[in-house]
Structure 1
Amino acid sequence: MIIYNKLVRDRIPEIIQESGEECLVEVLTEHDYLKELQKRRGRVKGVFSSF
């Protein structure tokens, strides 16, 4: 199984399951969600600062 560790929203897990694939979803606490958003923001900032 490929592990992506991505923040997902909307109906993405449902769409994956409807296509016959499996996915494992973890619902984060507000604290953990904010930590993951900060990590993502740092990665995105790093990409744009390299231009």
Structure 2
Amino acid sequence: MKNNVLDCKKSTEYTILLLVGKQDQERKYYDEYDKIKKQKMIQEI
């Protein structure tokens, strides 16, 4: 029984880490997207 609780805790922490990592990747993607958008706007002016 004790083992299961530990496994549960580990997998939750792992899931949280995955989610945080995903958010970081998305943030980087959006940052790059913003840069490209701004560059295009500057080029159009």
Higher helix share: 2
TM-score (norm 2): 0.49
Relative contact order, higher structure (CA 8 A, sep 6+) = 1
TM-score (norm 1): 0.44
Q: Which has the larger radius of gyration?
A: 2
